[in-house]
Amino acid sequence: MRVGILETGKVSDDLRVGHGDFPEMFTRVLGQVDPGIEFFPVRIVSGAGIPRSPGEADGWIVTGSEHGVYDDLPWIGPMKDFLRRCLAERVPVVGICFGHQLLAEAMGGRVEKSSHGWKLGVQDYEVVHRPGWMTDLPDRFSVRAMHQDQVVEKPEGTTLLATSPTCPYAALAYGDPEAPLAVTVQPHPEFTAEFLDALIAARTGDVLPEDLAAEARASLGRPVHTEEWARWIVDFLRNAAVERASA
């Protein structure tokens, strides 16, 4: 199975040395679940063109980003068009953070800055729908997060998978939740505690308030369900690719 990673944000040079870029993070965490997956990056944020066809991969992952889906960037509109084509052609998509927001906007939802401000560190979410491919799912799960923007209106034809009091649309399935066209989630299952700690530290005092940053960094010792999310993402991509091939 070949999975394209659509890189829509950059990791700073200082952090990339010790932690890798976003495609490397996804390759590492998902490759531990299935070493047989072939991952390849498409560096959209660095000027790479949008793939010509959704069928160039068996599935696509849209990364997080320092940008907003409402930013006036030349690749935002074409990316939305590409994602709509993916769903129309039943090529599976996984969206993480910015990717979660971008697909929602592409399909008729709405994204804006949260009235609750930044969500940082380990965050807790409540499961509201439990598809069969999300095996061994607890009623609540925790994942590392860093975002200010979030989905405030979900598109038609989506199923809410998880929520929190300050992030109502934390995870979505597009189409039939048992065999979805896309799965997206607001927090970052690809982030290690060490990377997020370094990222928060680098932005404290400039972008992030010091008190909020300190609280978030203190939360990073809490257990998280990133291994479960990695398995669910791989299972979703694998199942969707098999179903598309058989169709």
Question: Which amino acids are annotated catalytic?
Answer: 97, 188, 190
What angle (nearest 5°) sits at the alpha carbon of residue 80, between those of residues 76 and 85?
A: 145
Q: Shortest CA distance to 76 belongs to which of 102, 100, 101?
A: 102
Alpha carbon distance, N-terminus to C-terminus of the chain: 17
B/e letters for 84-115, b = 16+ CB within 10 Å, e = fewer, are ebbbeeebbbbbbbbbbbbbbbbbebebeebe
Q: Determine contact, residues 185/229, Cβ cutoff 8 Å.
A: yes
What whole-number distance in Å separates Cα of residue 151 and Cα of residue 174? 14
